[in-house]
Chain A
Amino acid sequence: MISMVLRRIGNAVAVMVAVAFVAFMIFQFLGDPVQLMLNEQASQAERDALRIRLGLDQNFVMQFMLFITRALHGDFGISYRNQQDVMSLIAERFPATLELVLVSTIIALSIGIPLGVYAAIRKGSPIARLLTMFSMIGVSIPSFVIGILLILIFAVQLNWLPAFGRGDVVHFGSWTTGLLTPSGRSALVMPALSLALFQISFIMRLVTAEMLEVLRTDYVKFARARGLPNRLVHFRHALRNCLMPVVTMTGMMIGDLIAFALVTETVFQWPGMGQLFVQAVMFIDMPVMAAYLMIVSAMFVTINTIVDLIYLWVDPRLRQAGAARGYHAH
Chain B
Amino acid sequence: MAAEAVLDIRNLVVEFPTRRGVLTAIRGIDLTIGRGEILGVVGESGAGKSLTGAAVIGLLESGGRIAEGEIHVCGRRIDQLPLREMQKLRGRTIGAIFQDPLTSLNPLLTVGDQLIETMRVHMPLSRAGAMARAVRLLQEVGIPSPELRIAQYPHQFSGGMRQRVVIALALCAEPELVIADEPTTALDVSIQAQITALLKRVCRDRGTAMMLITHDMGVIAETADRVAVMYAGRIVEIGPVASIIRAPRHPYTKGLIGSIPSLTQRSERLVQIDGSMPRLNAMPEGCAFHPRCRFAMAQCRRERPPLMPAGTSEAACWHLNGEVSHVA
Contact = CB atoms under 8 A, between A and B. Distances in A.
Interface of A: 217-219, 221-230, 232, 236-237, 240-241, 314-317, 320, 329-330
Contacts of A320: 155
B92 A227 contact: yes
B288 to A, nearest CB: 29
Most buried by B among A227, A240, A314: A227
B42 interface: no
A329 B169 CA distance: 23
Contacts of A219: 103-107
Contact of A229 (B87, B98, B106, B166): B87
20 contacts: A217-B103, A218-B98, A219-B106, A221-B59, A225-B91, A225-B98, A226-B95, A226-B121, A227-B89, A227-B90, A227-B91, A227-B118, A227-B173, A228-B117, A228-B118, A232-B121, A236-B117, A240-B108, A240-B109, A314-B108
Contacts of B121: 226-229, 232
Given A218-B103, A240-B108, A226 B118 contact: yes
A316 B154 CA distance: 9
A222 B166 contact: yes
A217 B98 CA distance: 12
Contacts of A223: 106
Interface hub of B59, B95, B103, B107 (most chain A Cβ within 10 A): B107
A222 B155 contact: no
Interface residues of B, number: 30
B190 to A, nearest CB: 24
Contacts of B87: 227-230
Nearest to B88: A227
Contacts of A236: 109, 117
A223 B40 CA distance: 24
B14 to A, nearest CB: 17
Given A218-B98, A218-B103, A228 B108 contact: no
B107 A316 contact: yes
A218 B104 contact: yes
Nearest to A237: B106
Of A225, A229, A317, most buried by chain B (CB within 10 Å of CB) is: A225
A229 B117 CA distance: 11
Given A218-B103, A222-B96, A226-B90, 16 more contacts: A217-B103, A218-B98, A219-B104, A222-B104, A222-B166, A224-B90, A225-B98, A226-B96, A229-B121, A230-B87, A232-B121, A236-B117, A316-B110, A316-B153, A330-B103, A330-B107
Interface string B230-252: 00000000000000000000000
A241 B106 contact: yes
B300 interface: no
Contacts of B117: 228, 232, 236
A37 B7 CA distance: 91
Contacts of B170: 226
A1 to B, nearest CB: 14
Contacts of B25: none
A314 B108 CA distance: 7
Given A232-B117, A236-B117, A225 B107 contact: no
Interface string B266-282: 00000000000000000
B125 to A, nearest CB: 15
B26 interface: no
Contact of A226 (B100, B108, B110, B169): B169
B183 to A, nearest CB: 12
Contact of B108 (A224, A227, A315): A315
A314 to B, nearest CB: 7
B299 to A, nearest CB: 42
A223 B107 CA distance: 12
Contacts of A317: 107, 153, 155
Contacts of B98: 218, 221-222, 225
A224 B83 CA distance: 11
B199 interface: no
Contacts of A217: 103
B13 interface: no
Contacts of B301: none
A184 to B, nearest CB: 40
Nearest to B113: A236
Contacts of B108: 240-241, 314-316
B105 A222 contact: yes
Contact of A225 (B90, B106, B109, B155): B90
Contacts of B95: 225-226
Nearest to A223: B106
Contacts of B105: 219, 222
A158 to B, nearest CB: 46
Nearest to A225: B96
A315 B107 contact: yes
Contacts of B109: 236-237, 240
Interface in B52-111: 57, 59, 87-92, 95-96, 98, 100, 103-110
B292 interface: no
